[in-house]
């Protein structure tokens, strides 16, 4: 994870109070630094590390903080850092693998304002926004919504409509997408490159729409997870390469590993139906039922077609659960 102290946003790209209709400095003071420590034996330690750093957004008067889930997945300790250099302990409330959101609760008074949740559905392409991390104006950037479209991630993740902003924020994890009215419209997730029609690639960020959090926040705060049957999960990493769905990695001990799926296999079909795109493949798997269902895959291996039946699992069964407080 990048160290915010090493990151800079050019002064001309930083927002000014006169650029917006809301109290800019008050809104930016709702951003807080987040540090988490993950056990060395955690499932995600090898891929995401045992020390993670990013941002969080205070979204309630009692210190509930929204962030991106990968920062706190399997965390054994979380600290929130304010502008005065004060560190406040927090505990993980929940993280949701389907949307990518995470929630943590401050265990002390933050004495900072919170951002109200706005509507991501009402944010049009082309809208001028602010993407902000912890650090006030020097860690905020003027940006525009450049696209709202489907996004599929190789780790078995799909957003029906992700928000894409540009230019890129250098410390994107857990940033706030602040709309023109000063409300929170999304949480920053990834660095991406967008190609405009007829133009060169643009550096930008993928933002998870806040409407997805609003629909599950009650479950997350009450149950520590979304209260529905988990999707089937295979534990394989799949990439679109030259219009083919190629297995690029397999996590040890997962359903795909146990079924002898191999790196380099090319996925041709799910349950007898052809698949050609990543999001299509994931949705075809999820349509078969809840976690535990058998997922029949057809793969191309060494020039021949191979049928593989994978006994799926719940992803959360492989993760350390948040400790109860």
Please tell me whether residue 148 adopts helix, strand or coil conformation.
Answer: strand
pLDDT at 84: 85
Please tell me whether residue 296 adopts helix, strand or coil conformation.
Answer: strand
Q: Hey, how many other C-beta atoms are within 10 angstroms of the C-beta on 137? A: 17
pLDDT of 169 above 90: yes
Strand partners, 104: 65, 92
pLDDT at 27: 98
pLDDT at 198: 61
Q: What is the mean pLDDT of residues 74-89?
A: 94
* Residue 133 · residue 55 · CB < 8 Å: yes
pLDDT at 324: 54
Domains in the chain with CATH codes: 1-228 (2.40.10.120), 236-318 (2.30.42.10)
Residue with structure tokens 């997870």? 225
pLDDT of 134 above 50: yes
Q: What is the mean pLDDT of residues 77-83?
A: 95
Long-range (24+ apart) CB contacts under 8 A made by 252-259 are 253/318, 254/313, 254/318, 255/295, 255/310, 255/311, 255/312, 255/313, 256/310, 258/310, 258/311, 259/308, 259/309, 259/310, 259/311
pTM reported for the whole predicted model: 0.94
- Per-residue pLDDT tens for 227-243? 999 999 999 999 999 99
pLDDT at 122: 96
pLDDT at 170: 95
């Amino acid at each position: 994870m990048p160290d915010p102290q090493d990151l800079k946003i050019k002064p001309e790209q930083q927002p000014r109070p006169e650029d917006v209709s809301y109290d800019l400095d008050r809104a930016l003071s709702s951003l807080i630094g987040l540090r988490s420590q993950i056990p060395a034996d955690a499932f995600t330690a090898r891929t995401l590390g045992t020390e993670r750093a990013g941002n969080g957004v205070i979204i309630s008067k009692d210190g509930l903080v929204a962030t991106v889930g990968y920062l706190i997945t399997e965390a054994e300790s979380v600290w929130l850092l304010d502008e005065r250099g004060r560190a406040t302990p927090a505990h993980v409330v929940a993280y949701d693998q389907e949307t990518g959101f995470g929630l943590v609760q401050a265990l002390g008074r933050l004495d900072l304002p919170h951002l109200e949740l706005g509507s991501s559905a009402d944010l049009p392409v082309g809208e001028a926004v602010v993407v902000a991390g912890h650090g006030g104006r020097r860690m905020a950037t003027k940006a525009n919504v450049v696209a709202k479209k489907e996004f599929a991630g190789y780790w078995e993740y799909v957003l029906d409509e992700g928000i894409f902003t540009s230019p890129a924020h250098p410390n994107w994890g857990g940033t706030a997408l602040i709309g023109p009215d000063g409300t929170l419209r999304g949480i920053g997730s990834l660095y991406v490159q967008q190609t405009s029609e007829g133009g060169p690639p643009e550096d930008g960020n993928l933002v998870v729409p806040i409407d997805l959090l609003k629909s599950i926040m009650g479950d997350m705060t009450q149950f520590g997870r979304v209260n529905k049957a988990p999707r089937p999960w295979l534990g394989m990493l799949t990439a679109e390469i030259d219009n083919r769905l190629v297995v690029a990695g397999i996590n040890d001990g997962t359903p795909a590993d146990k079924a002898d799926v191999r790196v380099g296999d090319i996925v041709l079909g799910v349950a007898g139906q052809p698949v050609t795109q990543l999001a299509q493949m994931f949705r075809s798997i999820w349509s078969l039922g809840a976690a535990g269902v058998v997922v029949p895959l057809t793969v191309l291996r060494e020039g021949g077609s191979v049928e593989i039946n994978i006994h799926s699992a719940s992803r959360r069964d492989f993760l350390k659960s948040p400790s109860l407080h």
